Chain A
Amino acid sequence: MIITLAIMALGAVVLGAALGYASIKFRVEGDPLVEKIEAILPQTQCGQCGYPGCKPYATAISAGEAEINLCPPGGMDGVRKLADLLGREVKPLEAEEKPRQVAIIDEQTCIGCTLCIQACPVDAIVGAAKQMHTIIEPLCTGCELCVKPCPVECISMQPIAEKLDNWKWKYPVIEIKRAA
């Protein structure tokens, strides 16, 4: 009996010591997974996931603290990619999926308060104090963070219109049955 215990204890001590030593000796800083997750996220920096930006969300996912279905701008497509990368189950998106949007400032109403400029996470708004502001459309990620701070409610979100530049060939739709 004593021998049994001694042998098991010996085994435990040897293995524990080896693992403990290895965890100190082979410590690695940083987490490459975070970068991979971040590459999938749409970088709107909108905070709709509850984290202050895409990187913190990626870190939280990597640490297993956050679900993968919290990113509405990424859409179901993004959830699927994350599930693929992390080997997790695909879950339906927490919020409803919206088409891509851009913010539009009604320049007649704008009073030049600069509040939206401070709110914009990606520097897509130009303007100066007491001057009209405007949004650089190609730079806008549609995060809606500028909508709330505006004191005169002159910012609205509008879906991106289909133009020749962003037009896409559609998936071929085939009639399944034709009366012969």
Chain B
Amino acid sequence: MTHYLFIIVGAVLVNNVVLVKILGLCPFMGVSKKLDTAFGMGAATTFVLTVATGASYIIDHYLLMPFGLEYLRTLSFIVTIAAIVQLTEMVIQKTSPLLHQVLGIYLPLITTNCAVLGVPLLNIANRHDFVESLLFGAGSAVGFSLVLVLFAGIRERVEGADVPVHFRGAAIAMVTAGLMSLAFMGFAGLDRYQ
């Protein structure tokens, strides 16, 4: 049980997918201007990432490994993830227009999110089993949402601050992201009793 807890805590805080592994930076910078949209993006990513880790585990173990096709991993994962994202979007649009409005334009963006591809690949590199894969996927996604929301909150405030002209916009956001990354380095060692 503690083993699973360590996987989750490690994924959320210690090895945060954005600030420590530096994956999924495009949505981190792009969709963090407003708190509401950051929440939407976080929710959408959490859903897709969890499903994607499960699906890629199944494909890897029951389709690629038996035939010795490990070299096709990246390709088949990308295709699967893209298809899942598309499918999810269409289903949500039809069944729950409200949720679709909330997630709206962020869903297709996830297709190109490198965190979503990176986490399944890390799963395989770490030799996680199915449950561990799912937990690691969900944990990473929660970590992603957490920093995204934190970052959006900070950016909303920075918007009103007296930032020197040449630092406005992306530049000050980069500086902020760097400081946040430094802060998350402080979690290193939290899981060393693993």
Binding site for B on A (CB under 8 A): 3-4, 7-8, 11-12, 15, 18-19, 22-23, 25-28, 32, 84, 86-87
A residues less than 8 Å from B95 (CB atoms)? 26
Cβ B83 vs Cβ A18 within 8 A: yes
Question: Does B165 count as interface, using CB distance less than 8 angstroms?
Answer: no
On chain B, the number of residues with a Cβ less than 8 Å from chain A's Cβ atoms is: 24
Task: Give the Cβ gap from A19 to chain B, nearest Cβ, in Å.
Answer: 6
- Judged by DSSP, the binding face of A is helix
- Judged by DSSP, the binding face of B is helix
Given A4-B69, A28-B93: A87 and B76 interface contact (C-beta under 8 Å): no
Question: Does B171 count as interface, using CB distance less than 8 angstroms?
Answer: no
B residues less than 8 Å from A87 (CB atoms)? 30-31, 105
A residues less than 8 Å from B63 (CB atoms)? 7, 11
Cα-based distance from A48 to B94 in the complex (angstroms) = 36
Cα-based distance from A164 to B33 in the complex (angstroms) = 37
Task: Give the Cβ gap from B101 to chain A, nearest Cβ, in Å.
Answer: 6
Question: Does B91 count as interface, using CB distance less than 8 angstroms?
Answer: yes
Q: CB within 8 A of B90: which of A8, A11, A26, A32?
A: A26
B residues less than 8 Å from A7 (CB atoms)? 63-64, 67, 69, 72
Question: Does B74 count as interface, using CB distance less than 8 angstroms?
Answer: no
Cβ B83 vs Cβ A19 within 8 A: yes
B residues less than 8 Å from A28 (CB atoms)? 93-94, 97
Q: CB within 8 A of A32: which of B59, B94, B101?
A: B101
Residue of A8, A12, A15, A27 ringed by the most chain B CB atoms within 10 A? A15
Cβ B67 vs Cβ A84 within 8 A: no
Cβ B80 vs Cβ A15 within 8 A: yes
Task: Give the Cβ gap from A82 to chain B, nearest Cβ, in Å.
Answer: 13
Q: Which of B54-86 contact A (CB under 8 A)?
A: 59, 63-64, 67, 69, 72, 76, 79-80, 83, 86
Question: Does B131 count as interface, using CB distance less than 8 angstroms?
Answer: no
Cβ B94 vs Cβ A4 within 8 A: no
Cα-based distance from A22 to B90 in the complex (angstroms) = 7
Task: Give the Cβ gap from B57 to chain A, nearest Cβ, in Å.
Answer: 15
A residues less than 8 Å from B64 (CB atoms)? 7
Residue pairs across A and B with Cβ atoms less than 8 A apart, 6 shown, are A4-B72, A7-B69, A15-B79, A19-B83, A25-B94, A27-B94
Question: Does B190 count as interface, using CB distance less than 8 angstroms?
Answer: no
Task: Give the Cβ gap from B45 to chain A, nearest Cβ, in Å.
Answer: 16
A residues less than 8 Å from B182 (CB atoms)? none
Cβ B91 vs Cβ A8 within 8 A: no
Given A87-B30, A87-B31: A22 and B91 interface contact (C-beta under 8 Å): yes
Cβ B93 vs Cβ A26 within 8 A: yes
Q: CB within 8 A of B87: which of A8, A11, A12, A22?
A: A22
